[in-house]
Amino acid sequence: MKYTLLLLTVGTIIFFVTTSVCATTIERIEKTDEEWKAILTPDQYVITRKKGTEPPFSGAYWNLHEKGTYVCVCCGAVIFSSKEKFDSGSGWPSFWATVKDAPIATKLDSSFGMERTEVLCARCDAHLGHLFSDGPPPTGMRYCINSAALNFIAEEE
């Protein structure tokens, strides 16, 4: 399977590299639809496995301001940190960068008569949301992510 991996480092140029994701680079998690249905809620399943989208301002994390880490709801891969979260006004959790070495893949999404960049977990192929180039400095990127595609792990104080 070919993906465009987004390699993002704060303070540097953004590079897009097309590569094949293989088991030697990322520990892949593969399950049948029935196995995913057994471990995910119906909303989580539709959003992550069937490329659904939750309504804006409805998810658990769009207005969460606690410190912590956001992980893929399907496989537990660490994807985002609250340090890179910002209020985009969109109604979905938004981040200007991923954590370092996050297993993120991007793919052209031409659904609904528009072209967008889909964001996937490269470890389990979960649909997380979309990536836009209208975010704040230093990257100018906005990861617009479904709350149902994430679990939040609060930072211990």
* 144 classed as catalytic: yes
| Residue 22 marked as a ligand binder | no
CA distances from 117 to 61, 100, 109 (A): 21, 20, 6
Name the catalytic one among 77, 144, 148, 150.
144
Extract the annotated binding site.
72, 75, 121, 124
Residues belonging to the active site: 144
Extract the annotated binding site for Zn(2+).
72, 75, 121, 124
